[in-house]
Every structure is written in C-alpha cells, then in structure tokens.
Amino acid sequence: MLNLQPSIKDRKKTMSTQPLIRSKQTEKSINGISTQVVCTEFSNYIFIVLTQYGKIGTLVSVTPDSRSGDISTPMFTTKVLLGKEEALTHVCAKNLATFVSQEAGNRPVLLGLALKDSSIEAIKAMKDVIKSCQVW
C-alpha cells in the first residue's frame, strides 16, 4: 500500500520554513496621492501602517469589545496610543480596521495612520488596498 502522508521529518521541515511573522506591503495612487500599506500579522495583533507621508503617523489601537451582547458583531473601541487625538482619526480607524479584525477572528488591530486625504472615497479605496495585503 502506498503511503501519501508526509513523513514527520517532512512536516517539521515545512513548519519550520513558515515565518512566525507574516508581512505584506503595496503601494497605490489614491486620488493622485501615493499611498503605502504594510500589513503584518502577529499571533495576538494585526499591525497595519497606512501612509501618504512615508511615516507611521498616529498609532491607534482598535479592539473588539468583549462586553458586546451579540458575539457575531462586536463593538469596537479605538484608542490613540501615539499622536494627535482627533475625532476624525477614530472614525477613519474604525472604518479601516473593523473588517480586518472580524476577518482575523476578532483579533485587535494596531493601525498607523498618516493621511493627506481622509475623504470617504479615499477611505473606501484604502480598504481595498488593505485587502490586497491580507496576511491574516
């Protein structure tokens, strides 16, 4: 009988070649502005840098609220960890990071934002760019 299962040695070799931290990046012009995205997956967080300045910018933590009544659609809390505290920062962060957290099993997202254009159209385009860098 032919055994098609990989040997233990082969499985260990495959497991050891996969990186512990996966990262992907891309660049796209959004409304004429060069926009760079870097998505990195850690075991406990997803880290996304979205920049139109070449800087990390304002660092925002977006976490699902475990006290939410409906587990399938958690509420999200945003907290500025580094940078200027502005209402628009929280709105952009929630819009950009909520779908990432949900697709990543409700893991928290750490988001670096440095945006010249935070219009609704730009945010929608940025979501698509983030999706193209999916590592979760």
Asked if pLDDT for residue 5 goes beyond 80, the answer is no
Inside any domain, residue 94: yes
Range of the domain at 29: 23-132
Q: What is the per-residue pLDDT across 55-112, written as a single tens digit (0 to 9) for each?
A: 999 999 999 987 655 556 679 999 999 999 999 999 999 999 999 999 999 999 999 9
Q: State the pLDDT at residue 39.
A: 98
Q: State the pLDDT at residue 112.
A: 99
Reading the block at residue 81, the tokens are 């960890």
Beta strands in the chain (DSSP E): 22-30, 33-41, 46-51, 58-65, 75-82, 109-114
Mean pLDDT of all residues in the chain?
89
**Domain total in the chain:** 1
Q: State the pLDDT at residue 16.
A: 59
Report helix, strand or coil for 133. Answer: coil
Inside any domain, residue 60: yes
Inside any domain, residue 92: yes
Inside any domain, residue 43: yes
Q: What percent of the chain is modeled with pLDDT above 90? A: 78
Q: State the pLDDT at residue 70.
A: 59
Q: Return the bridge partners of 75, or none.
A: 65
Of the candidates 16, 30, 8, which has an alpha carbon nearest to the alpha carbon of residue 129?
30
From CA 104, how far away is CA 93, in angstroms rounded? 16
Q: Residue 112: give its domain's CATH number.
A: 3.30.230.90
pLDDT band at 19 (very low <50, low <70, confident <90, very high): confident
Burial environment of residue 90 by CB neighbours within 10 A (0 to 12, 13 to 18, 19 or more) = middle
